[in-house]
Structure 1
């Protein structure tokens, strides 16, 4: 009888503890990852970012001010890893991991690859002298509202396009795989 009561107590305690779990405090901007592979299935690039939600807010020019450096997502600054040497706007990018910052504006964004990694946000953490490259990319209108900040890779003949979009705006950043250059 003692064993039965002990077992009953454990079952009641366990079911009460599980049913009392509060998941309302889950991350409001969950971590996401996008990966692109080479034609031989080896990885070419990976990006890790947190994906904030629009939730009816004005995003660019509001929540994300124009002309200011942005961590390109939420929480930790977005990181991109290249498994091959790449080229962006004529600049060689050695394989490795970089923080991806952006400066959104209405007509174009500044895309920044920075050597300082494992960064939370931008305040007091962004160091311009650590920039590897800065390029401009035109801001484009999305065909439909993008509720969650999203990042994807689009394969090209000799590399990939990095697509980043949120709300009614997206940018496309071409990267060329140096190994596939003519």
Structure 2
């Protein structure tokens, strides 16, 4: 009988511990999530879901998002962009749907990559899943932007501002 009581007590303790740990709130991520939703004048709904890395005194192109290397264009999970209709991005056709958004930053030109693998963690990239690549010229943001920020303008201009960088592409 004593052994049965000990077994019940141990089982109760284990279940209480598991229940308490399951109720522990998750720690906030260092790069908060954000979503941008907009409709262009031509009626295309665009949704961008991403996490916002901070510059934190680092240099874009060397310390973070290094030039010449693919980057998840955000933080944490892969950044996604979704189009409600078939579109042209920088004049190139792209079917309606949801895509992972990667980029290859460079000082004078950024490659914006639309990739069909939307389920991978942001640190996994396979070029064979690319659906479209476009090249755009980076500019300077109007002010310093600590956390990465996407915006979609009614004309179809999609832009990301981060640090002193402003990178934009057109969607029609």
Q: Aligned-pair RMSD on alpha carbons? A: 2.0
Residues 1:92 and 2:88 are matched in the alignment? no
Query: Per-residue deviation at 1:119?
Result: 1.7
Q: What's the counterpart of residue 174 of structure 1?
A: 170
Equivalent residue of 1:155, what SS?
coil
Which piece of structure 1 moves more, 106-115 or 42-51?
42-51
Query: Per-residue deviation at 1:114?
Result: 0.6
Structure 1: any 5+ residue segments left out of the alignment? 1-20, 177-182
Q: What is the TM-score when the length of structure 2 is the normalising length?
A: 0.80
Query: Per-residue deviation at 1:89?
Result: 2.6
Q: What's the counterpart of residue 28 of structure 2?
A: 26
Q: What's the counterpart of residue 119 of structure 2?
A: 118
Query: Per-residue deviation at 1:59?
Result: 2.4
The residue correspondences of 1:25-174 to structure 2 (distance < 5 A) are 25-38=27-40, 44-122=45-123, 125-156=124-155, 160-174=156-170
Q: What is the TM-score when the length of structure 1 is the normalising length?
A: 0.76
Equivalent residue of 1:129, what SS?
helix
Contact 2:101–2:112 (Cα < 8 Å) also in 1: yes
Structure 2: any 5+ residue segments left out of the alignment? 1-23
Structure 1: 4+ residue segments shifted above 6 A: none
Greater per-residue strand proportion:
1
Alignment coverage as a number of residue pairs: 150
Q: Any idea what the Cα deviations from partners look like across 1:145-175, whole Å, max 9, x if unmatched?
A: 111111010111xxx1110111110111000
Mapped partners of 1:85, 1:51: distance in 2: 27
